[in-house]
Structure 1
């Protein structure tokens, strides 16, 4: 399982480099630029995001999560209530917005099988992390002491945190349930969620 995850991380970087120009990369995180490439294939994809959605996400920290997962929705609400600066925006993987963000890296929600996070989203400084790295970076955006917990998670040996992430991923539906549609957050939080009303979020 871990060898497969590491190999997928390497394959992800290779596939991304065919569509975007890497400026720096390490492990599960890569800084990419979507400009100045000779390959415009990614530009020819169907644009799913509205101008309003693009403006809401650009330059922010964007967390992609499984909108049907009971645990993932709890984690997102946990983050939103501990992010007083409102740094993060939350996008369900199943939404058209989430699919468009992943497609730039040659991924889909089914192929990635993981939460993901974008730092400086949709800018030349964009960085993309997934699996346990996404968890660590999400925690680092929160107020103390959770930002320090995120740093501790990032300092843990990768094989250990990836093993924990894989185990939780296998049991999350059985233990925490699965929603048939992406649930709406409270009115107070709703402005920080993007893509909740997309078709992919209401399919069973």
Structure 2
């Protein structure tokens, strides 16, 4: 396998790898930014978190992702791209199911929420490994385009989760996935949320 040699470069395999890993990265960014999209709603459904606690909850996601990116940078030559993409995608189920649980249990202790936030950092940490693995599949003159597509489209996940979350948490059609939470708004009104939907919506795609 030598992408610089046209006779040895499998263009179809290379671009298939880009599209699959980009899909994985997009879902990773959705899992990564799930916490910032849920944090403003937590106190409304029964949590009693201070502004400082909410700040650190969101900050832990970024700290975790930044640290895990160091680890993931070294994984492509160790695991190979096929295993790396599979592992990186499968691990996203852990934080997603954690936040399904947290959304339905307002008595979840703060230390556990911090752990859930750290696990959400997996979604951002995989970025460095999956981007690095793309370098093995393309000749230098094609590498910039492939990395640009991969990096640009995967970043779409950060906006996607913040757009989708407000829509799905008010959707009760899948109430069999868990009861709704009565939210007490600052103006004294009450509304029912299904915060767990913000995680459930990504789980089938990740699977």
Same fold (TM over 0.5): no
More strand by share: 1
Q: Which has the higher contact order (CA 8 A, sep 6+)?
A: 2
- TM-score, normalised to structure 1, is 0.25
More helix by share: 2
Greater Cα radius of gyration, structure 1 or 2:
2
